[in-house]
Amino acid sequence: MARRKSKEKKIYVLDTNILLHEPFAFLNFQEHDVVIPMTVLEELDHIKDRNKDVSRDARVAIRALEDVLKDASPDQMLQGVAMPRSGEQKNGGHLFIVNDHHITDEIPGLPGGENDHLIINTALYLQREKSPTKVILVTKDINMRLKAKGAGLKLVEDYRTDQLIDDVRFLYKGYYKFPGDFWSQVGECRSENEGRETFHYVNRSVLPNAYINEYLIDEVEGFAGKVTAISDKEIRIIDFGYERLMHRHAWGIHPKNIYQAMAMQALLDPTMDLVILTGPAGCGKTLIALAAALELVIEKGVYDKVIVTRNTPEIAESIGFLPGTEEEKMAPWLAAITDSLEVLHKTDEHPHASVNYIMEKANIQFKSVNFMRGRSIQNAIVILDECQNLSAAQLKTIITRCGEGTKLICSGNLSQIDSNYLTAVTSGLTYIVERFKNFEGSTTINLNGVVRSRLASFAEANL
């Protein structure tokens, strides 16, 4: 949407949720004009003082608007204030603040006082008054888009400037499966031994779209490796060996199939600063991540502690006034972690005592996403669970908190998004998968291939 360049100037009317999703969104429309209805400013004003994480985005949006409009007179605001130009852009758009409360109702039969209807009414008014200039309402609210079209608005769009893919089915999986046998696909290659490791150098044409740290497997279950370097002519692959990879284990947990084996290898590799695990509920993301964290902290002593965090169901809002410490308040939201700890120690003579002992031994800390801002975490493993409900900006906040010697594990299920402002393609999880897929310090593994329980598989297919 905002990426398209066109000689024909357009007018974009922004809904409040666009500025909450990306506070600087109004600057991303190139040479086109942007209209902010007064109702949007009022909604931002009501949100900015709430005790919620989204309130911060409202305040940032208000300050960004003020930076553009601070020197403008009332007449200039009505006529449009020139917005900052980016790069080599010659013609910039203008920003308008429209008092939509004085616009005659263009939507007969709909309640005039509802904010959504006031914003739609503004777009309809501009569509009539500014014809033939195209007027486009931009909102992330699907129902509002439907209502706008039903009310007669010709052009309605979602905000997609930060969207890297159009369909989550094409999201990077972190591995490539060769049809048939790997060696029959590769043909000739040269191999080198470096200590205990074997590396193969294959022609780039074998896998022209390879990414760094991408795992390679084949259908006959005879080969398993990972891309470690890419040049113009060839690809360097480390050979793990299919059976050797399947025999990896952490804290008594063995992989059920090759997908979990790849995830375990990535999690146990201290050179990987970021490991992203995607896949449906019940596929083992949290269990494998926790088992690897305990192995690296207690058995190998690579890290000092484990920090577990996730956004609360209210989209990372305040953890409230529950009694107790931060860890005790977060405990209800992190039950998946304690459940996994119980599974890892269910065969112990005193499982409950073992869980408490391990939590103290591994220095496992439960933290709220709200309190991650401003910190600098050193020499720790950070497990960020259920991060499909975080925006790209929220994930950036957490990633930038990771200091020297810290490993971040992000896991999530893109089919279980609870946020009102996100979809599978705009989720922060999707964003970091695509952004980090060619970063030498990160690995992504999709666990869709994991065999789940009969009950879970049947329910997902038939309910």
pLDDT per residue, tens digit, the chain (463 aa), is 444 444 688 999 999 988 988 888 898 888 899 999 999 999 999 888 776 667 878 898 999 999 999 888 888 888 889 888 765 556 678 999 998 888 887 776 666 568 888 999 999 999 999 989 999 999 988 888 999 998 899 999 988 765 666 667 788 999 999 999 999 888 888 999 998 999 999 999 899 999 999 999 999 999 999 999 999 899 999 999 999 999 999 988 899 889 999 999 999 999 999 999 998 877 888 889 999 999 999 999 999 999 888 775 543 444 455 556 655 555 665 566 777 777 777 777 777 788 788 878 888 887 777 666 667 788 999 999 888 888 887 888 888 888 889 999 999 998 888 776 677 888 889 989 999 999 999 999 998 766 667 787 777 677 7
pLDDT at position 373: 65
Give me the sheet containing 234-239, strands edge to edge. Answer: 175-178, 215-218, 224-230, 234-239, 197-203, 190-194
Structure tokens at 308: 């577990």
**Residues sharing a CB contact under 8 Å with residue 177, sequence separation 6 or more, in sequence order:** 217, 218, 219
CA atoms within 13 A on the CB side of 184: 8
Task: Identify whether the C-beta of residue 310 lies closer than 8 Å to the C-beta of residue 388.
Answer: no
pLDDT at position 3: 43
DSSP state of 146: H
Structure tokens at 299: 């058995």
pLDDT at position 350: 77
Strands 215-218 and 274-278 turn out to be unpaired
pLDDT at position 47: 87
CA distance 460 to 281: 10
Cα pseudo-dihedral 256, 261, 266, 268, rounded to 10? 70
Strand partners, 381: 306, 407
CA distance 463 to 461: 6
Cis amide prior to 132 (ω within 30 degrees): yes
pLDDT at position 111: 61
CA distance 127 to 115: 19
Could you give the angle at the alpha carbon of 135 between the alpha carbons of 132 and 140, nearest 5°?
A: 160
Structure tokens at 97: 């603040």
Task: Identify whether the C-beta of residue 14 lies closer than 8 Å to the C-beta of residue 38.
Answer: no
Structure tokens at 419: 């946020």
Strands 94-98 and 364-368 turn out to be unpaired
* 3-state helix vs strand vs coil in the chain, percent to 5: 35, 20, 45
pLDDT at position 355: 77
pLDDT at position 295: 93
Find the farthest-apart pair of alpha carbons in the chain and give their distance in angstroms, rounded.
Answer: 78
